[in-house]
Structures are given as structure tokens and as C-alpha cells.
Structure 1
Amino acid sequence: MREFGELLRTHRIGAGLTQQQLADFAMVSVRAIRDLECGRTRSPRAETVRLLAEGLRLDESSRADLQQAGGRAAGRTAVAPPAPAGSSGVIVGREAEAAALTALLLEGRPGVGAPAGVPQARGAGDVRDVAGVVFGAPLDVRTSGRLITVTGVGGVGKTRLALEVAGDLHFRHGWSVLWHPAQASPAVDDEQNTVLVTDQRPDPRLLEEHPRLRIVVTALAPTGLPGEHVFPLGALSDDAAVRLLLTHVHRVRPAFKPEPANQAALTGLVHELDGLPSALEFAAGWFMVYSPQHLLERLRSNPLDPTSAHLRDSLRRSLSTLDEEGRDLLVRLAEGEEAGHSGPMRDLCVRGLVRRAGPRYEVLNLVRAAVREPVAGPHLSAGVTLTWPV
């Protein structure tokens, strides 16, 4: 049998999580995770094992293996702990999105009950730039508004937003929170309101069988299920992105302070990284080596250079959800061609690969870098080609 720490590390790396991220999701201290992974702690408490399994979103088999490695009897847990609130009560820069998503779940049908100042959905095909909702599938009166898919490019924070909202529903409204893979059969209590958070395509029969159930899916693209609300999640605003970047920087350089001399570089950094939270977090680690100005120079030569392999893979998985028409349009946009409104453009926006820039659309810097790769060979001069995952 594998040691608990080794198995925990394998699951964490496989999920693409840092120790800090797993600590946030599982509500376990970073020190506890570090001690477990290095073997200083060999007999974790049953509650700690449960929290870690939920934070990693393990399926039933993997959960049982982790419990067995920890010397605990395998058991099934129906209610997962919601995410802890951020330091300001809501994750940085997502106040409007969190309020809109919470309102949709509380109401259970589209366009009703959103707080003042939060845009509401107007009908089929409506796409909003901020806290928007898209109706991409025929409505079903039995499930309408109860299935919400949060879409966006890899690293934009879909799971973190879903966790924040689940925590709010649990602590403030008394809802039960389920955190199970879609292939599992969650134990739904029909006596109370329940939200199921998943990153897999759910079984639509769950909503028919459990009238008080809501489902939040975090995905790169819509599921296409009847009655689905698609909730596109865009990048952070410049101000929010700088605040988030500084939060992560202070973990590695506690004495770092934004000053007039580095303010322009900080703004340039969040522009080059498209305001993607996971890219900002990873880039913050380079502040141990570079000044903001030097890091910005490196980013301008290759925005993907100081990011993680996990983010690069996530971006390419986002590209893999496109059909041929969408890929062709993205190629043209990446090469500087202008394009008008169309179905494929809408799909690119829903997936977070393209965003509005005034009257035009622009491809995210990181997306452009992910699809352009230098190629050199005996029959080619050094140049750029667009490649796609298979």
C-alpha cells in the first residue's frame, strides 16, 4: 500500500493544485498538508482525510484508497464542505459574479431576483460581458434555471467562484452542498435545498427526481443539456487583477510595496497575463527573482514563459473544445483580422478565448501564445505556425 503522503501528493499534483490551493479548498492548513506529504505526520485524523478528499474532488474509488492509506475505514460522505471566504469576504474582483450566481441559484429560474446593479438575462442567445447568462439549449420547465454552467478559459477561476457561492449558500442560507463526480449517485436530501457542484456533465434526471436540487457545472464549454443556463466568466478587471497579484506576491515577498516607480509595470503584468487568476498566482512566484519591470520584459517576449505547465495544458484543453469553424475564426483573429458578430464568435466568447475590446474582439494574449509555436526545419525557415491539440 502506498504511503498516505505520497498518495496525497500524487492526487494534488494530478489535480494541478498547489499546497496553498488545496489548503484553501479543503480548509486544512498549508503546514498540515506539508507535514503529511513529507511524512512528518503519518496518522491523519479522519476529518482531515475527509476534507482533503473533498478538496481534491476524488471519486469514490480514489477516496477509499486515500482513507485506507490513512488508516481509516472507507466511507461515503454526502455533504462536502464549502470553500472558505476570502480575506475580504468575497474572492477578489468577483463580487458582481458571485452575487449574480447566488441570486440565480436562490431563485431557481432565469432572470428573477438578481440584486440591483447585476445584469439579468433577456432570453435565448443573450450574451453578457460581465456576470452574463447565455441560454444555449431548449428550456425545460421542470429544470429551467436549476442547471447553471460556469464557462471560461482554463485558469479564470470557475471552480473558485462555484466554491465561494456554495459556501455562501451553506453558511448564510442553510443549504446542503454536494461535491461529487457526475458519475456518482449523490445522496440528495429532498427535505432541504441542495446545490451540487461538479466539473463533469451531470445526469439531467437528477433535477427531475429532486425538485429542490440545483446543479452548478464548471466547464470549458456548455453541456448542451435542456434548461441550461450558461454563465460566462471573464478575466478580472485591471484593478482587481493587480490586487490579486499583490496578494500572491506578499506570500513570497512580504515587504513588497506598490510604488509609483513600479505601478506601470504591475499594470502591464496583469495585461500580459489577461487578468487570469491562475496565471497571476504563478507569476507572483517570480517576484523572488525578478523586479516587476524585468518580469514584464520577459512576459512581452513570451506570455506563457513564466506560467505553469498546468496552465498551458488547461489553455490547450480550452482550444480542443472548438469545432473547425471556431478554430478557423480564432486563427484569423489571432493574426489580426477583424470579425463581426456570428455564432462562432459567440462560442469563442462563451469559452473565454476572445473578449470585447471596445467595438472589436481580441484574442487573449495567453491563448494566442498557446496556439502559436516557433517551427524550424530543413524545409521551413524559422516562423510561426498554429497548432491544435488532438
Structure 2
Amino acid sequence: MNAKQHRDERIATMDRQASPTLGAVLKAARRRIGVTQSQLADLSTVSVRTIRDLELDLTHNPRRETLRLLLDGLRLTGAQRARVEEAAVGQATPGLPADSLAPPPAVLDPTVGRERDIEALTCLIELGGHRLIRVVGMAGVGKSRLIQEVAGAVDASGQMPVVWAEPDGGATGRPTDSLHAHIATLLRGARDMARTCRVRPESDPESHAESDANPGPEAALDAALDQLASAFGADDILLVVHGVTMSPASEAALRRLLARCRGLHVLCEAREGSKGGAGTDYPVFPLSVSDRPVGPSGRESVVSPALQLMLSRSGSLEREAPADSRTMAALAGVCQNLDGIPRAIEAAAAWLLLYNPDQLLSVAQRDPFKLATPPGHDTAALRAALEASVASLHPRDADVLRRLAAHALPFTMTQALSAPEQAGDSELSAIHLLCTRGLVRPADCDAGGTPRFTVLNLVRHLLAEPTAPAIPPLESRGPLRWHSPASMESSSCAA
């Protein structure tokens, strides 16, 4: 470098040091119009935390959309606006190329019955400060689709950039492909390292010598952590890991990344809640179904979300069919027999090409698992998932499931337990576990507004089969006792 180039670089460095930071410029602009950070958040729809981190210069690469919202909220124009934009460019540091990130894939079909879930999850991310959120639910309940909707809502709001992780690393030629590759390495390296530890115990001296010679998955994991921590920094970012159910090792690796990136949020899937308590579990249940048959009058007021989904996927029905009360009642019955599980309802809608609604209901009552798999598909993923979930239960929890499944009517805790306030933790924990596993789902509240629950109709059919998973009997059955079905009905009516 010659003397002139050296002098020019020194002058440029001094100019940057003398220029006010983006945080200082934003804070001055906010104070000039006399608003607090909270008031600016309302004016701009940018979170208070993002505004605070920008003013403290903890965020060095603000997203273009975030900056635009703030400038609009501050009502800056002309030279004032240019000054803030210039400060943002001068403060930018190498890191996550937010503006080059591809948006999350769009949801092509209408999403039915998940509006409250989308709003609640979005608030957890943007306002609640929750950083590791697991969307928990059974197979086929719609976890992946819900995550896709939430990622799109966060991306559209401009609150924070969304990194839609490709589980296999992706190969699209985008500038962020290396980012996806590091994420895939992080998750894969964690699984490989856990597998290696199981195969080679630490007490084996040869394993240490081999590990020193060939670092393997642990070195790859550490390298991926370093690369991602450098890319994410302290900025507010939502990392979405979709299409894969987190293993304990992969989740532990994500927690290590969260510890190094103070602004990072992770949204992922899980089949059951965390036993360690770290992070936030958001349970997703099947779509609600109506316990009452759909009659010829007042149809619009009793159409359940599950029935709405069935109708939205029933393209083979004649145009006049949805207006027919008998057709509506038959389709509502199909939804009830399929427990409001979105994947099962979508599969059943495909069978309408071969069956009319009355025939479809007859098949659903006789063999609901047949309808839960689309025509021409040999795999019964939902059935296999339920069988695996039942087989993995502790005998105590499985025994509770058997006794609850013996009664077809929805039940309240008072009806299921002789004295809920005196019930042991094991009985209440068992019912809670069965709900989070998707084997028991919420039902309509009774007349007094008390929550009710029911064992999945699919699970009842599974347990009634001769090849049902064997459940060892328990000697002590605890306080789980039932009223007779007649008394259950009368108590519901009385309520």
C-alpha cells in the first residue's frame, strides 16, 4: 500500500469514527418528535426490543424493511431520512445478508381453523421474548403448515428476518446457501456425535486416540456453531427448522447456538413436550368438530373448522351438495370419526371421487383408518404413528388410556376422576401426557363451560383390534373412576 492509499484509508476511518452511529441518529430523531420507544413501536409496528437494540447499537445490520418502517413512523423525509440511511450503511458489518434471504415458501391452499394459533405463535416470537419454541403435536395435525404460516406472517411484518432452514442444506445458488449448509451441518453433526458417543464409550482409551486423529462430527459441529454465530450476531432473527422432528441432540445444539446469539429465535417441531423444561412448548390439537349433527336450519352457525376444511377440499362434490343438510350431516360425521385431524380429513376428501357422502360416513364408522390414507397410497403413516405412540406409553399411562377409551362420550375431569382436587399427580399427569401425545383431544365444553376431552376415535379403533398393543394391567388403579354413561349424560345436561 503506497502512502496516498494509506492516508486515504486513515481519513475514511476517521470520518467513520466522527460520524454519529445509527443508534444515536435514531434516538435523536425519536426525541425530536417527543415519543417513547413504546410509542414509536406502535407507530412503526417494529418491536420495542428491536428499537432498543438499534438505539444501543447492538444491531449493526438492520433489515431494509425494518428501517423503512421506523423512518415512516418517525415521519422523516428528505435530508433527515437520507442521514439515517447513510448512518445505517456506514455502520453495516459483514453478517447475515438479510435482504438476500428468500422469503419462506408461500402456503398455496387456504389454512382453516388455525387463525388463533397463528396469532398466538406470532406474538410469542415478536412480543413474548420466547426464543426456543417447539410446536408440539401428533403426526398429521398440521404442525408444518402452521409453522409455514407463522414464518410468512413474521417475514411480512418486517419485525425480523426469517431464515427458512433447508434440512439438507439446499442447493439453489442463492447467496445464503452456505448458511443453510451450516445449519444442516449443525443438526446432522449433533446427531452423528450422539450416535458416535453411544457406539464408543468415553472410557475406551482407543476412542480418544482416534478422536484426536480424526475429529469427526464434533469438529464439524463446532465449526458450524462458529460460522452461524458469526452470521447471526446479536440481531433479531427467526430461524425456522421445518419438516424434521428435533432429536434431543439436535435440540441441544440449537440451545448452544441460542446461548451465543442473543437475538436469535428458533421455531421447530416436536412430537411431545420437552422433559427438560428449556424452551416453550406450543401444543397443537386437531381441528374442533361439532358434537351435534348438522341440521337443515342454522347450518352456518354450527359448521366446525374440521367441516370447513372438508368442504374446502371437496372439489368433486356437486355445486349444490354443500347446501343439502343430509350431505352436511354426513360430512360432519366423517370429520367426527376422523377426530378433526387435518391430514386424515384431506385424505378422506379424496375418497369423495369414489363414494358419495353417505357411503363415506359408513366407511368412516366401520374403518376410519381406510379413509385416513388417500386412494392409491400404500403407506398408513397416521396409523403407524398412533401405534408407536401407544406402544411407547408407560404401563400406568397406557392403563389410564384404556379406561378412558372404554367410554365414548366426551368427559370432564370431574367425570373422569372421582375427586379431581384429591387426585394424585400421576393420574392428572397421565391425562396431560395423553393430550400432548395427541391420543386424547379437547372436545366441546359442556353447558356450563367446563372443558371436556375425548379419546381419539382412531385410538379406540386401534385398541379394539385383536392386534392392539399389549398393555400390562396395574394392580392399583388409583382414583380414576367413571360415572355410568347415563349419569354422565344427565350431569352434562344438568350443567
**What TM-score range do you get, normalising by the shorter chain?**
0.5 to 0.7
Q: Which runs of 5+ in 2 are unaligned?
A: 1-99, 168-183, 190-223, 290-303, 374-379, 409-414, 421-427, 472-495
Aligned to 2:344: 279
2:193 pairs with 1:101 = no
Verify the 8 A CA contact 2:104 2:162 in the aligned structure 1.
no
Aligned to 1:67: none
2:135 pairs with 1:150 = yes
Structure 2 counterparts to residues 1-390 of structure 1, below 5 A: 81-85=103-107, 91-109=111-129, 145-173=130-158, 174-179=160-165, 180=167, 182-183=187-188, 185=224, 187=228, 189-190=232-233, 191-198=235-242, 199-201=245-247, 202=251, 203=253, 204-238=255-289, 239-250=304-315, 252-253=316-317, 255=319, 257-258=321-322, 259-308=324-373, 309-336=380-407, 339-340=416-417, 342-357=428-443, 358=446, 360-374=452-466, 385-387=468-470
Structure 2: how far apart are the matches of 1:233 and 1:321?
20
Structure holding more strand per residue: 1
- The residue type equivalent to 1:83 in the other structure is P
Report the alpha carbon displacement of residue 218 of structure 1 after superposing the two structures with TM: 1.2
Report the alpha carbon displacement of residue 374 of structure 1 after superposing the two structures with TM: 3.0
Report the alpha carbon displacement of residue 147 of structure 1 after superposing the two structures with TM: 1.3
Structure 2: how far apart are the matches of 1:229 and 1:241?
27
Do the aligned partners of residues 332 and 366 (structure 1) sit closer, same or farther apart at CA in structure 2, a change above 3 Å counting?
same
SS at structure 2 position matched to 1:316? helix
TM-score (norm 1): 0.61
Verify the 8 A CA contact 1:318 1:351 in the aligned structure 2.
yes
Verify the 8 A CA contact 2:107 2:148 in the aligned structure 1.
no
Do the aligned partners of residues 313 and 269 (structure 1) sit closer, same or farther apart at CA in structure 2, a change above 3 Å counting?
same
Structure holding more helix per residue: 2
Q: Which 10-residue stretch deviates more, 92-101 or 217-226?
A: 217-226
Structure 1: how far apart are the matches of 2:349 and 2:320?
11
Do the aligned partners of residues 161 and 320 (structure 1) sit closer, same or farther apart at CA in structure 2, a change above 3 Å counting?
farther
Structure 2: how far apart are the matches of 1:366 and 1:79?
42
Structure 2: how far apart are the matches of 1:86 and 1:220?
25
Verify the 8 A CA contact 2:141 2:286 in the aligned structure 1.
yes
Report the alpha carbon displacement of residue 257 of structure 1 after superposing the two structures with TM: 3.3
SS at structure 2 position matched to 1:102? helix
CA deviations over 1:169-190 (Å, ceiling 9, x no partner): 1232242223235335473522
Q: Which runs of 5+ in 1 are unaligned?
A: 1-77, 110-144, 376-384
Q: How many aligned residue pairs are there?
A: 264
Report the alpha carbon displacement of residue 304 of structure 1 after superposing the two structures with TM: 1.2
SS at structure 1 position matched to 2:466? strand
Verify the 8 A CA contact 1:371 1:387 in the aligned structure 2.
no
SS at structure 1 position matched to 2:313? helix
Verify the 8 A CA contact 1:162 1:216 in the aligned structure 2.
yes
Do the aligned partners of residues 261 and 200 (structure 1) sit closer, same or farther apart at CA in structure 2, a change above 3 Å counting?
same
| Larger gyration radius, structure 1 or structure 2 | 2
CA deviations over 1:255-275 (Å, ceiling 9, x no partner): 573122311111111111111
**Identity value in percent:** 33
Report the alpha carbon displacement of residue 325 of structure 1 after superposing the two structures with TM: 2.1
Do the aligned partners of residues 361 and 243 (structure 1) sit closer, same or farther apart at CA in structure 2, a change above 3 Å counting?
closer
Verify the 8 A CA contact 1:166 1:195 in the aligned structure 2.
no
- The residue type equivalent to 2:269 in the other structure is T
Verify the 8 A CA contact 2:137 2:272 in the aligned structure 1.
yes
Q: What's the Cα RMSD here?
A: 2.6
Report the alpha carbon displacement of residue 84 of structure 1 after superposing the two structures with TM: 1.3
Structure 2: how far apart are the matches of 1:315 and 1:297?
22
Verify the 8 A CA contact 2:132 2:279 in the aligned structure 1.
yes
SS at structure 2 position matched to 1:305? helix
CA deviations over 1:116-146 (Å, ceiling 9, x no partner): xxxxxxxxxxxxxxxxxxxxxxxxxxxxx21
Q: Which 10-residue stretch deviates more, 199-208 or 223-232?
A: 223-232
- The residue type equivalent to 1:200 in the other structure is M
CA deviations over 1:199-235 (Å, ceiling 9, x no partner): 2131221210111111222121013344321111111
TM-score (norm 2): 0.49
SS at structure 2 position matched to 1:234? coil
Structure 1: how far apart are the matches of 2:276 and 2:257?
12
- The residue type equivalent to 2:381 in the other structure is H
- The residue type equivalent to 2:162 in the other structure is S
Do the aligned partners of residues 178 and 322 (structure 1) sit closer, same or farther apart at CA in structure 2, a change above 3 Å counting?
farther
